[in-house]
Amino acid sequence: MITGMAGWEDVMTCLQKIKERKQLSMNLAKIKKFFKKNRYEKRLAIVRNTYTFVHHHEFGQIGKGSYFWNPIFLSGTRYMYLGKKVGFWQHARIEAIDEWEEQHFSPKLTIGDHVNIGQNCHITLAESIVIEKDVVCSARVTITDISHITDNVNIAVLNQGLMTKPVKICEGAFIGINSVILPGVTVGKHAIVGAGSIVTKDVPDYATVAGVPARVIRIRNDL
């Protein structure tokens, strides 16, 4: 039976030592696991576990385990809201534009958990792009909610200003290499965009589209 403050202090000290030993054991196990990885896995583990800690204050939100492989171009990160384990690969260009000439915008890029943005992808927005969880954007994909105004044939397109329409890529979608997602488009849940496609209109859930412009070639119904 424990009596007096001294007895309780001894118990608490003992429990603290047990906790510290357990934590040390867990940390050693993590270190051993790390050194068993190959060179690529080690680099990826370091990036995943340090980027969020170092750069979280630069973003609207960035979830644990999200990472960017350099070299990469980022602009307007305060307008970017990223979930957990979002990966951006080398040479991606991600831009949130809040001002163009005399126009002012309120952009917001929202990306869900476990999204993979491939090499040389270009995402540019001035209004809203939402990419839901578990989406894959293959290499050299372009997603934009911006287009140039072209109404006046007497003024250079560059000087006519911008117009925007929001874009949404629903959960589980797969965007093939070299594809382009244009303003105003929604790509449905678990849809597939074939390589090299230019998507100008909405893609239904579970559809496979391909071509220029992209057309539905299959609706998966194996549910």
Instruction: List domains and CATH numbers for the chain.
Output: 59-219 (2.160.10.10)
Q: 35: pLDDT confidence band, cut at 50, 70 and 90? A: low
pLDDT tens digits, one per residue of 158-189: 999 999 999 999 999 999 999 999 999 999 99
Q: 196 with 187: CB under 8 angstroms?
A: no
Q: Whole-number mean pLDDT of the chain?
A: 86
Residue at 157: amino acid letter: V
Q: 220: pLDDT confidence band, cut at 50, 70 and 90? A: confident
List 56, 122, 148, 190, catalytic entry: 148
Would you state the structure tokens that stand for residue 157, as one six-digit string? 């397109």
CA pair distance 85, 10, nearest whole angstrom: 43
Q: 217: pLDDT confidence band, cut at 50, 70 and 90? A: very high
114 flagged as catalytic: no
Residue 146 has pLDDT above 50, yes or no: yes
Residue 37 has a pLDDT of 56
Q: Which residues contact 211 (CB under 8 A, 6 or more apart)?
A: 194, 197, 198, 217
